[in-house]
Amino acid sequence: MDYSLIVDEVKRVANITETAFLKKWQAIPIIDNREKLLLIPENFCYPFYANTMNITEDKRIFLREVTFLMFVKAYEILGGLGLELRIYDGWRPVSLQEQLYWLYMKQFTVCKFSNIAPLFSQAILATEIKNVFSLLVKKTQEILHKLNRRYVSWPSNNRDFPSPHATGGAVDVWILQNGKSVDLGVNFDSMEESAGAFYHLRNDRIKFKNDDRVCYYRNVLLYAMVNAGFSCYPPEIWHFNYGNQMHALVTKKVANYSYIEP
């Protein structure tokens, strides 16, 4: 496989995707095709929120049936390059989405404001963070919500605009080589500019440590997932979509995955 062609394809996808996300994905209409959720075999999975964050005991990962078949295609593409692909998260219950929203509100968003961050110092649980947040003035809340929602969708089971992970069509993935996670330049779920799917293509960026290798892994991941049929979410190199509103925004089609439960 010619690597230069991979890079050219990623650049083409970047232009289409970033242009599409100038609009709001929540406005895309949904006609749910009622495709079922599939329990994913454990050998494809690394349930991050259970294994690493320990915020859930449920280690099962679900995806819509077609979404999983597309993942397998991407898995095979990367296998041809001597790499493996793991699913870190797929379908996500709204209860877990809410936990993540408030935990990351403190960890990644509030901490950027030195005048506000100390108010949250004693808040550990998601409910505690939410309670402290409710005491802030409305304008400050609006600013924080806007910043946080760039990386963490609002928990919603509304069938007209569900959280992307609640549709079974959003999947978080990571590359492995020789059984170990590769370096994509950021940690999984990092809410920073350099976590962006196309950050490594920018001329004004700060280079990563081991920059050439990081860029290689990012490019082949994007290439494999897009060629399998996925679209990516620009702020997150690990997040890919199919069938949901985010995917429809890029493909200019009607979404066919709404809120679903196993």
pLDDT at 1 over 80: no
- Read off the pLDDT band of 200 (50, 70, 90): very high
For residues 243 and 90, give the distance between their C-alpha atoms in angstroms, rounded to a whole number: 13
Which pLDDT tens digit goes with each residue over 213-255? Answer: 999 999 999 999 999 999 999 999 999 999 999 999 999 999 9
37 conformational bin, left if phi > 0, alpha if psi -120 to 50, beta if neither = beta
Mean pLDDT of the chain: 97
For residues 241 and 167, give the distance between their C-alpha atoms in angstroms, rounded to a whole number: 10
Task: State residue 262's pLDDT score.
Answer: 94
Give pairs for 52-61: CB < 8 Å, separation 24+.
55/96, 55/99, 55/100, 55/103, 56/96, 61/87, 61/89, 61/90, 61/91
What do you get for the CA distance between the two ends of the chain, in Å?
Answer: 39
Average pLDDT value for residue range 65-88: 98
| Count of helices and strands (H, E) across the chain | 8, 7
pLDDT at 36 over 90: yes
Which pLDDT tens digit goes with each residue over 112-125? Answer: 999 999 999 999 99
Task: State residue 127's pLDDT score.
Answer: 98
What are the structural domains of the chain?
A: 3-92+168-251 (3.30.1380.10), 96-149 (no CATH)
Which pLDDT tens digit goes with each residue over 181-197? Answer: 999 999 999 999 999 99
| pTM for this entry | 0.96
Which pLDDT tens digit goes with each residue over 141-172? Answer: 999 999 999 999 999 999 999 999 999 999 99
